[in-house]
C-alpha cells in the first residue's frame, strides 16, 4: 500500500506545507480556516449568494479576526441540498476568488469535488483544494492538484456507504483517497486529511471519531477538523445552527487536544481564541 510506504519514510510531522507564499509549519500552532459560502442554501445560514460586496466584507472580517486561510464554496454540502452544475459553481466562485486574490492577504482554498471547478479556481488565484468527497466523486481532481502543486484536503465521506466500525471506515476512506492522490502525483507534503464530521455518520459515530481523533495521526498527515455549527452539536444541545457557538468551542478544544492541526470554522474570532488557549496547553506555545 503506497500510503504505508510514505508513512514509513516520513515519521512524524516535522515538516511544512507550502500554501501560496506561506508555510504551514505543522505542530507550531493550530491554523484557522474561515468559511465563505457563496451559496443561498448553506445549512448555517451564512451564505452570501451573488452579493460581491457582502462576500468581500465577510472575507475581510474573517482575515481581521485571524483566519489563516479562506475556504470558498459554491455548493452547499448539507444532505438535502440541490446539486449544482460545474458551470453554475464556476460562475459563483470565480468572481469572488479573482476579487479576493487582490483584496486579502491570506491564501484561498476552493471547496469543491469537481476537477473542472478546481482547475478554474486555481487559475483564478486559489491555492488549495478542499474535496469533501475524498476523490470518490471525481478522481481527476487529484491530477489537478498534482499539476498545479497545490495542497489537497481529502475527507472521509460515508454518505451512501454502509459501515460496521466507524473508525475503520474513516481510515479506509482516507487511505483510499491518499493512495489515489499519490498515484496521481500529489506530493506527500501536500496531502491533508479530514475525518469528515457529518457526511453520512451517525451522531454516535461523529462523537466516536472526535473521541478517537488521535488515532488518525498514524496516517502521518496533518488533520483538518470541521465541526463548526454542525448537526452533531445541534442534536446534543438541542439548538439551531446560529446558537451552537459554545458547542463548537468544545469540539475545537478537544479536537486540538486530540491532534487537529487546522480547524474550519464560521466564527473565526471566538475559535481563534479557543485555539490559542488550547495551543498554550497542548503545544506549549503562546
Catalytic residue ranges: 230, 264
- The grid cell for 151 is 495542497
The span from the CA of 167 to the CA of 172, in Å, is 8
**Phi, psi values for residue 189, rounded to 5°:** -70, -10
CB 184 within 8 A of CB 139: yes
Nearest by Cα to 119 from 94, 155, 153: 94
CB 106 within 8 A of CB 70: yes
The span from the CA of 150 to the CA of 264, in Å, is 18
Distances (CA, A) of 270 to 62, 65, 118, 148: 11, 8, 30, 34
The span from the CA of 114 to the CA of 89, in Å, is 9
The span from the CA of 88 to the CA of 107, in Å, is 23
The span from the CA of 214 to the CA of 116, in Å, is 34
CB 70 within 8 A of CB 63: yes
Task: Tell how strand 16-19 and strand 22-25 pair up.
Answer: antiparallel
Q: Count CB-CB contacts under 10 A for residue 59.
A: 23
Amino acid at each position: 500500500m503506497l500510503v504505508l510506504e510514505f508513512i514509513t519514510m516520513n515519521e512524524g510531522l516535522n515538516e511544512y506545507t507550502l500554501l501560496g507564499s506561506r508555510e504551514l509549519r505543522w505542530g507550531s500552532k493550530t491554523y484557522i480556516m474561515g468559511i465563505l459560502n457563496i451559496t443561498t442554501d448553506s445549512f448555517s445560514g451564512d451564505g452570501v449568494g451573488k452579493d460581491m460586496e457582502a462576500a468581500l466584507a465577510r472575507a475581510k472580517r474573517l482575515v481581521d479576526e485571524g483566519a489563516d486561510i479562506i475556504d470558498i464554496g459554491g455548493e452547499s454540502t448539507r444532505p438535502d441540498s440541490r446539486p449544482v452544475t460545474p458551470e453554475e459553481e464556476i460562475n459563483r466562485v470565480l468572481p469572488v476568488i479573482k476579487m479576493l486574490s487582490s483584496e486579502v492577504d491570506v491564501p484561498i482554498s476552493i471547496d469543491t469535488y469537481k476537477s473542472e471547478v478546481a482547475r478554474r479556481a486555481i487559475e483564478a488565484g486559489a491555492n488549495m483544494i478542499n474535496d469533501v468527497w475524498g476523490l470518490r466523486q471525481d478522481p481527476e481532481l487529484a491530477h489537478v492538484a498534482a499539476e498545479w502543486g497545490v495542497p489537497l484536503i481529502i475527507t472521509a465521506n460515508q454518505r451512501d456507504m454502509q459501515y460496521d466500525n466507524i473508525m475503520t471506515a474513516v481510515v479506509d476512506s482516507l487511505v483510499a483517497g491518499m493512495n489515489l492522490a499519490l498515484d496521481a502525483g500529489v506530493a506527500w507534503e501536500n496531502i491533508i486529511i479530514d475525518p469528515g464530521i457529518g457526511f453520512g455518520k451517525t451522531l454516535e459515530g461523529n462523537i466516536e471519531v472526535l473521541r478517537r481523533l488521535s488515532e488518525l495521526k498514524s496516517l502521518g498527515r496533518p488533520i483538518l477538523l470541521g465541526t463548526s455549527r454542525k448537526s452533531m452539536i445541534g442534536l446534543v444541545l438541542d439548538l439551531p445552527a446560529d446558537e451552537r457557538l459554545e458547542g463548537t468551542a468544545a469540539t475545537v478544544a478537544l479536537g486540538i487536544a486530540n491532534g487537529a492541526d487546522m480547524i474550519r470554522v464560521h466564527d473565526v474570532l471566538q475559535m481563534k481564541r479557543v485555539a490559542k488557549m488550547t495551543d498554550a496547553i497542548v503545544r506549549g506555545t503562546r
